[in-house]
Structure 1
Amino acid sequence: MTVYGIGTDIVQVSRVAAVMTRTRGRFAEKVLGPDELRIYHARHARSAARGLAFLATRFSVKEAFSKAIGLGMHWPMTWRALQTLNEASGQPVLRASGELAAWLEARGISARVTLSDERDYAVSFVIAETAEAAPALATTHS
């Protein structure tokens, strides 16, 4: 595998909370994909703080992923086209859909993610990879 790009992001959870207040909760619907939204609502119902942490980590991952693939938040990278879900083991995995999935597939890009949150911050790190061999580095000899 060859590294295509790397992205990282850190989010202050209180800023996400402020956006949720300002948008009367619509921010979650704008940012989260359908599976993420279902999980968010279940977590929020049990604990508002855990629901907010879930939203903050997923927002952070989308930002980090957009940096790793070099698009930023521009088509085909959209908020809801990328979801961070968990394997049964708890390992986070990325799932792209629609035009983003097609864009990634056409370029042979896959990605790995790690994320974490504490009371005040959520952080994520994404490595986008391709199966292609990396080009050789040019070297000079003196």
Structure 2
Amino acid sequence: MIYGIGTDICDVRRIRESLERHGERFPARVLGENELAVWKARGARWPQRGVSYLATRFSAKEAFSKAIGMGMRMPMTWRNCEIANRPQGHPQAGQPYLVLHGALKEWFESRQLHAHITVTDETDYAASFCVVEHMPHP
């Protein structure tokens, strides 16, 4: 059964401006530990890809927070929610998925929820869509 649906569109130029204004404090506030490492690696090789990565993660977390009906309030925090990608060799290699931490993970699992997330980006925009299902155990 569908628990919630969320979508978000993010202006990549706004993310770039935030990076220019706040430096690494901005991604450190928005990205989880694993995401931060990916962002740094991508940004070091291709600065624009680093900005796009940050924008897609920002957008995906917004979409997820809408799907669970919580917005950005506890236990939903930027850093307790990470968006990872399935590794090479996995049947759905590259597919994004949620990795939750701390109180958010406990809250989510206690309600027997499962999330599906997708992200996309173009030059000026990043967009995300999230469907959260209630999947009670038999």
- With the length of structure 2 as denominator, give the TM-score of the two structures: 0.93
Which of 108, 124, 128 in structure 2 is aligned with 1:124? 128
- Secondary structure at the residue paired with 1:72? coil
Query: How many angstroms apart in 2 are the aligned matches of 1:106 and 1:52?
Result: 34
Query: How many angstroms apart in 1 are the aligned matches of 2:26 and 2:114?
Result: 27
Structure 1 segments of 4+ aligned residues over 2 angstroms from their partners: none
Q: How many matched pairs? A: 131
Is structure 2 residue 70 aligned with structure 1 residue 63?
Answer: no
Which of 114, 130, 137 in structure 2 is aligned with 1:110? 114
Matches of residues 1-142 of structure 1 in structure 2 within 5 Å?
2-88=1-87, 89-132=93-136
Query: How many angstroms apart in 1 are the aligned matches of 2:84 and 2:132?
Result: 17
- With the length of structure 1 as denominator, give the TM-score of the two structures: 0.91
Deviation of residue 25 (structure 1)? Answer: 2.5
Structure 1 runs not aligned, ≥5 long = 133-142
- Secondary structure at the residue paired with 2:71? coil
Name the larger-Rg structure: 1
Identity of aligned residues (%): 50
- Secondary structure at the residue paired with 2:76? coil
Over residues 55-95 of structure 1, what are the superposed CA-to-partner deviations in whole Å (9 max), with x where a residue is unaligned?
00000000000000000000000000000000021011100
Structure 2 runs not aligned, ≥5 long = 88-92
Deviation of residue 24 (structure 1)? Answer: 2.0
- Could you say what the CA RMSD is over the residues aligned between the two structures, in angstroms? 0.7
